[in-house]
Amino acid sequence: MTQLVTTEEMQELDQYTMATIGLSEEVLIERAALAALDVLGAGAYDLSNVLVLVGLGNNGADGIALARLLHQLHIPVSLQFVGNANKAKPAVKHQLQIAEACGVPRSEKSDFKQASLIIDAIFGTGLNKDLPEGLQKMVKAANHIESTVVALDLPTGVNGTTGQIMGAALKAKTTISFGFTKVGVTKNPGKKSAGQVLVKEIGIVVPDDFQFSINKQ
Ligand SMILES: NC(=O)C1=CN([C@@H]2O[C@H](COP(=O)(O)OP(=O)(O)OC[C@H]3O[C@@H](n4cnc5c(N)ncnc54)[C@H](O)[C@@H]3O)[C@@H](O)[C@H]2O)[C@@H](O)CC1
Ligand SMILES: [K+]
């Protein structure tokens, strides 16, 4: 049985886990990255040249932590920021400091064709409006060359609640849902962008009296 959540419910559960239970944001990010590493390590992906596309929110922080874990396993990986890294959330800046201290390479502008695997860590549950035009172009270009994409939590551009495409969406081979599957990846057109959806436990705690808006399926 799968429990689906809206992005609002997921945000509420993230907050409860951090503010009430006391698990730190950093622990959740590390667990998300370890969960993704688990999926990548299972052997179904070409890890000869991994490119992690990083956004300015916590989805990006998950991506940077994953890049560090890959780098420490001597897997060729580089990070590319989408947007101005100076405007990133504190968790992203912190992950970036750690990644830089570990020597994770950063690329400014990558040729997607060169990447054996693209990790989508641009937007997750925080997406609340259409992608900026420049990013829509980038997403369309990546989809056009049919690179293999693994999306962290949600494919960038998919509304996690409605399944709507917010201007454009990266087409993933696999989407790794952290904690719970977001209902948007079960509804078209979001479903098509998500590919195979896997759910990974990261330590999210659900209050006893929490009412999910969607019944288990
Ligand atoms: N405690 C947490 O919040 C956790 C979050 N996690 C990860 O963090 C993600 C959610 O992180 P965030 O809430 O930081 O959000 P995102 O990283 O999805 O997005 C970043 C921010 O971009 C802004 N934004 C939204 N739509 C935009 C648009 N179209 N153009 C420009 N800017 C836009 C919003 O301010 C949003 O907060 C999850 O999907 C998951 O991957 C996990 O690390 C687990 C713990
Ligand atoms: K993503």
**Residue ranges of domains in the chain:** 4-200
Lowest mean pLDDT across 103-117, 157-171, 194-208:
103-117
CB 56 within 8 A of CB 135: no
Our answer on whether the CB atom of 28 is closer than 6 Å to any ligand 1 atom is yes
Q: In this predicted structure, what is the pLDDT of residue 147?
A: 85
Q: In this predicted structure, what is the pLDDT of residue 111?
A: 81
Label residue 97 by pLDDT band (50, 70, 90).
very high
Mean pLDDT of 94-98: 98
Smallest CA separation from ligand 1 atom 33, residue = 127
Q: What percent of the chain has pLDDT over 70?
A: 100
ipTM of the assembly? 0.96
| CA-18 nearest atom, ligand 1 | 1
Smallest CA separation from ligand 1 atom 36, residue = 126
Q: What is the pLDDT of residues 6-42, one digit of tens each?
A: 999 999 999 999 999 999 999 999 999 999 999 999 8
In a mutational test of the pocket of ligand 1, which residue from 27, 127, 198 has the highest number of ligand atoms less than 8 Å from its CB? 127
Q: In this predicted structure, what is the pLDDT of residue 109?
A: 82
| CA-11 nearest atom, ligand 1 | 3
Closest ligand to C-alpha of residue 82 is 1
Q: In this predicted structure, what is the pLDDT of residue 176?
A: 98
Our answer on whether the CB atom of 55 is closer than 6 Å to any ligand 1 atom is yes
| CA-15 nearest atom, ligand 1 | 1
CA distance 18 to 186: 27
Q: What percent of the chain has pLDDT over 90?
A: 92
Smallest CA separation from ligand 1 atom 39, residue = 124
On the question of pLDDT at 1 being above 90, the answer is no
Gap from CA of 89 to ligand 2 centroid (Å):
16
In a mutational test of the pocket of ligand 1, which residue from 16, 125, 198 has the highest number of ligand atoms less than 8 Å from its CB? 125
On the question of pLDDT at 110 being above 80, the answer is no
Q: In this predicted structure, what is the pLDDT of residue 139?
A: 96
Query: Domain 4-200 is of which CATH architecture?
Result: 3-Layer(aba) Sandwich (3.40)
Our answer on whether the CB atom of 205 is closer than 6 Å to any ligand 1 atom is no
Is 131 buried (19+), middle (13-18) or exposed (0-12) by CB count in 10 A? buried
Q: What is the pLDDT of residues 45-77, one digit of tens each?
A: 999 999 999 999 999 999 999 999 999 999 999
